[in-house]
Amino acid sequence: MLKGRVRIFEASAFLYFAKSGLAQRLMHALKYGGDKALGIQLGRFFAEELIKDEQFIKPDLLVSVPLHPDKLSKRGYNQSEMIALGLSEKLGVPYRNDVLVRVRHTETQTRKKRFERWENMKDGFGVEASAGLNKVHIAIVDDVVTTGATLEVCAETLHAHLECEVSLFTLCIAIR
């Protein structure tokens, strides 16, 4: 999905997301049902699976894909942050929400094709608090990856501002 487009140290997903499947129901409860605790618990479960993998290398820091302040205000929380908090707790890796920031409001990605998604996200993120983050391994946490456009732009943004390794942890990966 992202191979050859952006430098990634490691990428992992926990669940397959299929229309009308269990993962879709879980994501709807998390994103639209206000179930923050579900996101934290799913992050814990995800971490337990990562730890079982002998090849897994812990990152130094977790960051989540940020929501635009308007969307965050409307929803009340960032679902990717809830997943990151569960991962952080179980992995013993710090989480920060002040590193990667949304600098531009973007349209929903739901009905867009891959290139349209990338164009929609391009220049949508920035790095706010970068002190002490050079030469660290940062894992970006997201809820669902479909085409990888959002994560690609987030990784490009981190690489543009920091000398770092970037990994991607998504709770779900969409299958077609």
Q: What is the pLDDT of residue 68?
A: 81
Q: What is the pLDDT of residues 1-22, one digit of tens each?
A: 566 678 999 999 999 999 889 9
Q: What is the DSSP letter of 148?
A: S
Quick one: tokens of 66?
A: 């940020």
Q: What is the pLDDT of residues 98-130, one digit of tens each?
A: 999 888 666 554 565 655 655 666 677 888 877
pTM over 0.85? The answer is: yes
Please give the domain boundaries of the chain with CATH numbers for all domains.
10-174 (3.40.50.2020)
Distance CA 96, CA 64 (A): 8
What is the chain's mean pLDDT, rounded? 88
The stretch 133-160 carries a mean pLDDT of 92
Distance CA 154, CA 122 (A): 9
DSSP E strands in 83-158: the ranges are 100-102, 125-127, 137-145
Residue 176 burial (10 A CB sphere; 0-12, 13-18, 19+): exposed
The stretch 142-161 carries a mean pLDDT of 91
The stretch 131-156 carries a mean pLDDT of 91
Backbone CA torsion sign across 162, 121, 12, 46: positive
101 three-class SS: strand
In 10 A of CB 11, how many CB atoms? 20
Q: What one-letter code names the amino acid at 92?
A: G
Percentage of the chain modeled with pLDDT above 70 = 86
